[in-house]
Amino acid sequence: MNIIHIQTLSKTYDGVVEVHAVDNVSLSIEQGEFTAIVGPSGSGKTTLLNMIGGLDSPTSGHIKVEGTDITSLSKNELIDFRLQNIGFVFQSYNLIPVLTAQENVEFVMLLQKRNKEERHKRTMELLEAVGLGGLQAKRPNQMSGGQQQRVAVARALAPKPKFILADEPTANLDSASTANLLDIMLELNRKENITFLFSTHDQRVIDRARRVITLEDGKIVSDVTRDRANAE
């Protein structure tokens, strides 16, 4: 089942020279995919990911998430749609420094107005799932980069999104932390059929992805799906 359907999507920046950051891209992402969007700097991968996540608006084209055309939503509708449907993991973690790991994970559910008991139960389950059981009272500055990124993954999963968008999530991590994070994500993908879509130039992520979409100059130049055994 297609969870994301993108049709003739373009993003153009006007200036002295017109820049086609994303140029007439069409693709579909199915439920349960573990997909990497790759390409050199300036290829359009982050711009594409940001448009899929509703963080940036296309110049033309359409993005449908389970039938909802997010390009036609108002600003407020789009904010609510993101809150209810999309999880984000960023290169810089984006944790709130004054909040504990538990409070960071609970934050989105608080915005969703979920009750305290439900928030606490899901947060504890997720922190355990990402290997941070017992560290819920730690603040970001008391944690390693790898631990902070695992908190970010738990936070992204907390609202039970339809998919997770991860923009260069391993860029600030060492090899051991990267391997650990990818193991956790793959396990969540396998066990819960969670869809992960990465923007990355990290070969370690590319090697684990089961589908690799390559962009150059805003266009898809390659789209390769590998079987699960070869990808892992």
Residue 105 in any domain: the answer is: no
Going by pLDDT thresholds of 50, 70 and 90, the confidence category of residue 15 is: confident
pLDDT per position as a tens digit, 127-160: 999 999 999 999 999 999 999 999 999 999 998 8
Q: Whole-model pTM?
A: 0.91
Residue 111 in any domain: the answer is: no
Residue 186 in any domain: the answer is: yes
Alpha helices, H only, 112-197? 116-129, 145-157, 175-192
CA separation for the pair 227, 232 (Å, rounded): 9
> For the chain, how many structural domains are there in total?
1
E strands of the chain, at which residues?
Answer: 2-13, 19-30, 34-38, 60-65, 68-69, 86-90, 163-167, 196-199, 211-216, 219-225
The CATH number for 183's domain is 3.40.50.300
Residue 115: per-residue pLDDT: 94
Q: What is the DSSP letter of 1?
A: -
Residue 21: per-residue pLDDT: 95
